Amino acid sequence: MFKIVNDKLVKVDEKPFDLERNLQRLTENSLEEVFGYEFVCGALNKQLRVQNFELDTLAFDPEAKAFVIIEYKKDKSSSVVDQGYNYLGLMLNNKAEFILEYNERGNANLKRGDVDWSQSKVLFVAPSFSLHQKGAIAFKGLPIELWEVTLFNDNLILYNSVKPPEISEPIEKITKNKDVERVSREIKQYTLEDHIKPGWSKAKELFDEFSQHVLELDPKFEIKPVKYYIGFNIGNKNVIAIHVRKSKLVLQLLRVKPDDLKDPEKRTRYEKNSFEYYNKHITQLDINSEDDIDYAMSLVKQVYKIFSE
């Protein structure tokens, strides 16, 4: 990493975190900025204790409607997979306690049916992970993420998602671990194949063409399939979403109403009660053929501009 000084690049040196607790407090103070999550409890107030386990940080993902457990690792010899599945099993066996914690800390009224437990996950955050720990997450659909955090001089900090070099088959196929088997029955990482059914050739062609245009708009876009839709995210924020039907796509333009957009043909429609249900306005457009994609992209560019600003 460099900074610009008088038209020259000057290297910015790394420096260590003084204490693990400093990393935890810094992360909790910035959960929305870094991950797009809501803070529930942790070092900033009082950590949640369930049975004999104390969770470092409990967060809630408002996009996925799911709880996220965040742990700060200092032991490079311990197994992130075993610990991660242990915590997920603990959550699924004590759902009422997690909902109660969320409601009491935030003065909210979350109900069990409001949570998508299938999208639950564990994040491990640390200055670094061992090669063994990084290799252990190389399984398809693993509800566990590793994040390395580097602190630099000049108060610069980098949160970097660790991606394994290769993804193998689902972990439940190669292990008899009871925690893994129990969690895998309820928690699922969704893929494009879960949304685009076999035989939906027209919808697949439309999706491939549309997604290519979106990814060309900004390389930071990532395609994130979840339970009910395929999200196009920048960072951890949904910008637009797609619902795939048998022979068409339904485009969701997020955080805008039809009146916010230049829609000369008046083809968009407002999703009724979207703000009440999802805490954001949602405008929809049907993509029935390739001829509709250019028009859809003109709207996507407007939403992208609003999002970027």
Query: For residue range 33-83, what is the model confidence (pLDDT) as tens digits?
Result: 999 899 999 988 989 999 888 999 999 998 888 999 999 987 777 889 889
* Termini Cα distance of the chain: 25
State the Cα–Cα distance between residues 91 and 112, nearest whole angstrom. 12
Secondary structure class of 122 (helix, strand, coil): strand
Instruction: List alpha helices for 161-292, DSSP H.
Output: 178-186, 201-217, 274-278
State the Cα–Cα distance between residues 160 and 78, nearest whole angstrom. 20
Q: Answer yes or no: are the C-beta atoms of 131 and 79 closer than 8 Å.
A: no
Count CB atoms within 10 A of the CB of residue 244.
Answer: 21
Residue 250's pLDDT is what? 98
Burial 214-239 (b: 16+ CB within 10 A, else e): beeeeeebeebbbeebbbbbeebebb
Of the candidates 129, 9, 12, the one whose C-alpha atom is nearest the C-alpha of residue 73 is: 129
Residue 295's pLDDT is what? 97
The structural domains of the chain, ordered by start, are 9-186 (3.40.1350.10), 192-308 (3.90.1150)
State the Cα–Cα distance between residues 66 and 259, nearest whole angstrom. 31
Residue 176's pLDDT is what? 67
Average pLDDT, rounded, for the chain: 90
Cross-strand partners of 286? 250
**Over the stretch 89-109, which tens digit does the pLDDT of each residue have?**
999 999 999 999 999 988 888
pLDDT grade for 249, boundaries at 50, 70 and 90: very high
Structure tokens given for 114: 């409001």
